[in-house]
Structure 1
């Protein structure tokens, strides 16, 4: 799994990565803003993103036909494995 954590940080912070990527101290600049805004460093953000990525899911509601994206977890119900949304948002089409 490859994570461009500087670009992820910029997205989370609402910054344009292209404004920083050519700078010699790109990583340091982005990390300083991340620390100021969210009180975490790039390593911590990368650990969080790495743990969240496997829980991302996309699914269609069988009742409404609406598409959703979000975080889910697997549950065992009898002999079935089902997924339960933890957090979701509707995908605008």
Structure 2
């Protein structure tokens, strides 16, 4: 195939924090807790990098060639404003784009 490289917009890009939660009342809560604990181990964090995830465990090895957040211009994103404005912004998006 063709060589593929990861690029980022010069004006900045957003980022996503992968979430992990225990669902109240969900099945097998003890197994779920064990899985969550495993997700933060060095083994799991090393594995997740195969999908271009950056580790949060300081013992994990950052994959050679990985793009770290200090190498990318990030958008200054106001999470509080976004939460407070969600309904208005979703409505505006649907009216203008989502038709």
Superposition TM-score, scaled by structure 2 size: 0.26
Superposition TM-score, scaled by structure 1 size: 0.27
The structure with more strand, counted as a fraction of residues: 1
When Rg is computed on C-alpha atoms for both structures, the one with the higher figure is: 2
| Structure with more contact order per residue of length (Cα contacts < 8 Å, sep ≥ 6) | 2
